[in-house]
Structures are given as structure tokens and as C-alpha cells.
Amino acid sequence: MSKDIEDNNKELDFKKTIEKATEFQQDMLRQFSTIQFTAFQNMFSSLQGFTNYNAMFKTNVQTGGRISIPEAERQALGIEEGDLVQVIIIPLSRKKKSNSSSNTTTTNTGSTNNTNTFKG
């Protein structure tokens, strides 16, 4: 009879161990889900902030490496002279180099061609 009691105790201990392991796994999954949800919230919040407070436009590099922010973008973002802004540069095309000492660029604006010559 003591063997039956001992077997029952082992069976109960085994069941308790399985229940504790199951609870631990469920708790771990809940914590992981919470961490994952928080990470996604932070990512989407960052993306939302990025899209609400920026402008994207194309511009040409001018003499001395200067670029201009178009007036519409300055107004939309409330940028004024002297404000500090961050610029990310992605070259789209390069000006073709000529063999002469001066650089000539030609722009086609519909029916007319405009040619600008810059002495280098």
C-alpha cells in the first residue's frame, strides 16, 4: 500500500511540475508579446514623427556646394533663416564633365533650350 501512495505522490508531483512549466511558458509568451508590441508601437511612433516633420525634394548643387530649400517646404515646416536642419544627401545624377576648361550645361524646357556656361 505504501507503494501505491508513493506512486500517487510521484504522479501528483509530476502533474504539478507540468502545470508550473505550462504557467511559466504562458507567462514568458505574455512578456514576449508585450515587449514585441511595445517595440512595434515605438517603431510606428518614430515613423509617424518622421513623416509629419520632414520634406523631400530635389535640388541642384549651386556654386560653393550650396543647396536651397524650396519656399513651399520652408513654409510647411516653419523653417526660418538661421534654423538648424538635418540634410541627407542622395546623389541622383552627376553632371557630365566636358573636355574644355569651362563647363557647359544644357537644359531642355519644352520648346526652348537654355544653355548656361560656368567658368571653372
Return per-residue pLDDT of the chain as tens, 120 residues.
Answer: 677 777 778 888 888 999 999 999 999 999 988 898 888 888 777 766 666 677 888 999 999 999 999 999 999 889 999 999 988 888 888 887 766 554 444 444 444 444 444 444
pLDDT at 47: 67
83 assigned to some structural domain: yes
Residues 67 and 47 in one domain: no
- Which of 53, 73, 88 corresponds to the end of one domain? 53
Quick check: 116 and 105 in contact, CB under 8 A?
Answer: yes
On whether both 72 and 36 belong to a single domain, the answer is no
Same domain, 80 and 107: yes
| 57, 70 contact by CB (below 8 A) | yes
Pair 37, 18 in one domain: yes
State whether the Cα torsion 29-32-34-37 is positive or negative: negative
Instruction: Round to whole Å and give the CA distance between 56 and 9.
Output: 71
What is the residue range of 37's domain? 1-53
Q: What angle do CA 8, 14, 18 make, to 5 degrees?
A: 145
* Inside any domain, residue 32: yes
In a domain, 58, yes or no: no
Tell me what pLDDT residue 99 has: 64
CA dist., res. 19 & res. 31, Å (int) = 18
Asked whether residue 31 is assigned to any structural domain, the reply reads yes
Residue 112 has what pLDDT?
40
State the pLDDT at residue 109. 40
What span, in angstroms and rounded, lies between the C-alpha atoms of 19 and 67?
A: 67
Q: Are residues 49 and 74 in the same domain?
A: no
The CA-based dihedral angle spanning residues 54, 55, 60, 61, taken in that order and rounded to the nearest 10 degrees: -10
Give pLDDT, residue 113: 41
pTM metric for this prediction: 0.38
Q: What is the pLDDT of residue 31?
A: 92
pLDDT of residue 44: 74
Residues 72 and 105 in one domain: yes
pLDDT of residue 1: 64
Task: Tally the domains of the chain.
Answer: 2
Residue where a domain terminates, one of 14, 32, 53: 53
Asked if 112 and 69 sit in the same domain, the reply is yes
pLDDT of residue 25: 94
107 within a domain of the structure (yes/no): yes
